[in-house]
Structure 1
Amino acid sequence: MVLDRLADFLIWLIVKAISLFRKDWYVKNRSRVEEWRLTLYALNRSPTGIIGLVLSLGFVIVGVVGPFLAPYSYNQFLYLERPELYLAPPGAYGMPLGTDIYGRDVLSLMLYGARVSLVISVITIALGVPLGILLGLVAGYYGGKVDEAVMRITDIFLAFPALVLALALAATLPGRIREFLISEPTFASFMAAVFGVSQEDSIHLAPLISIFLALIIVWWPTYARVVRGMVLVEREKTYVEAAKALGYSSWRIMTRHILPNVMSPIVVLVTFDFATVNLLAAGLSFLGLGAQPPIVDWGSLINMGGSRFPTAWWLVFFPGVAIFLTALGWNLLGDALRDVFDPKFRRRIEFRV
């Protein structure tokens, strides 16, 4: 099977990369490598998983290289040079997806918007999820007063609806962030490079930075509660007692023994949350709390086209389709991974392969 050969090649690349730094790693972790290979084999036999993987990888690739492929810059206001490009329909004047109210090419704006959506998703997941995992590990492993303190803080955050709390934070943070960007030009330049915008527009990134900061604050409690529940089960098992008898530190037991045994549900949850973060970020931008002109993302495009619908339907349709396909891809991939990590399903695949 072609996909199996691609999986073998991917595993080989990963093993070679790790072996450059740790020469005996493959010998000590051969069973783990075989487990990775079997996971990819099982995923290859899930049609929904393949569709989800293609859509998700497509979103990631477009988000990474999109600004370099865009025919025009996001801040290239063609309307000033050619007034006929004001809300030009798709296909007119060489614009395949039409133009917006400033005469900007919608295809280029979609490619730049993919980078914005990808950055917000990655930063939110990369910073919010580890924080929740760490607090969940500590609360579940130590229990007692530590568990009580962490869970009560978690309950406080969970008591507020995520969207309402994100709205409040996204509305109040931009002013302070804008002052920080002005006082720290190095950080502003770095964030401009990350979002794929020009350095002179870095001051307009304050609302976008406030969005992922708000999402990080509201995202970790779910993971803290999920991980804490699984750790409560795992800490009573024999392998944890054996590690304690050998004199291993609590940190090593939590990170080297318990954490790998609770990662499968976390990976599935992270995959679903990539879709949720995209939808929530687009929703905040649609409400006017996200990207501000000239910077654009998919939610702000829909916001722009909403007041001109159905006349300028393309400003709503194309970003809406992009958001739908991205969310669909992550959800299909997460659903497939949930089946792949199921021991019964994996056993059937193992005998078949």
Structure 2
Amino acid sequence: MISREMIISYLTEYSAIEEIFRTYYEQDGKVNSFYDMEKKYAFFMKEGSRFLQRKKELDEKYPKKILDLDNVDLDAWEKENVQKNMDHEIKEKNRVHFLHKEFFETDKNIFINKHIRFSPGEFHDHEFIEMCYIYKGKVDQFLRSKEGKAEKKETLNQGNLLIIPPGMQHKVNIYDDSMMINIVVNKYTFEKTFLGDIPQQSLLHQFFSEVLFSQESNAYLVFSGGNDEVLRDKLLDLMVAYLNETTYGARICDHYLSIFFLELLGQCKNVKLSSRLGKEGEQMTQILLYINHNYASISLEEVAEEFHYSKTYLNRIFKKHMGTTILKQIQDTRLQESCLLLKNMRMSVEDIALHVGYEDTSYFIELFKKKYKKTPLQYRNDID
């Protein structure tokens, strides 16, 4: 049984390949590229015996499944990259594109690994969602929509989570003791676990779908300002489930990932969006999440105060980017939540109305009927 203490220990200490990379970095002062191998090859050949000794120590200390977090066959790595060096000029002109089949076993929807410290980063993209969680320290990510486009540097601090959509090119270099965990998720599982608990018809759901799955958006999300201990705790739960293979392991991992996302959406106070929407548009994510968290008790005045806008200006920019007003969005969120309660809870209509923010049950029923063309009870009976 692999415990969270065992995982924490392995994440913290240097693996065999990390030690080799760190030694090279300390001696040479830089690690430019995986393809710049002529000098490195001689170095790795010289350090090979030390690598094998360290690898043997780790093999004796940790179960093989944990070692898969950053499993590297140095012999194969050397041969492969020396061959790549022969085609260096060609390779540098082409981005690296990763496919689903390279990361996911047939019964797995998630792949998790520790980013190898002191290893040189190369721009790459993929056809799945990648999430980078900063477990310790500070990490710089470099992102671009495609080759030749301007790079954007994103500095991520401990507890931050970066969500990178399919097709977005990025690279990362870690040249200190900072630690980053990569969580790779296929698109179907991401939609089910991240968006699954957000009503499908809601503007928040549409917004995240547009940001993460539209080929034109070229956007990524950075979540920050949450309770680092809570998020780390949920992530470790996920890793324990991931590493301890059981009969229903894949489904258990999906559930833990869903819990992690719920904590992320509930905990994080700041959500940074990088896209074509500009500065105003970047705030839409935070406004939508704020409404989603507080829909039952907020007003237009409170939203405007929270984001330091006048009511008029807030409504104007919200309608410009979202196509609706703040009050309409609050109302829609309340009604969407009431649908979930009618489906999943045996609460009375009066209790549901009060729960979503309406003291006047008759007014709630009137709004519900106007939107869904049936009363709340008719809606519930149709489901049953």
Q: TM-score range by the shorter chain?
A: under 0.3
From the two aligned structures, give the one with the greater strand fraction.
Answer: 2
Higher relative contact order (CA 8 A, sep 6+): 1
Greater C-alpha radius of gyration:
2
From the two aligned structures, give the one with the greater helix fraction.
Answer: 1
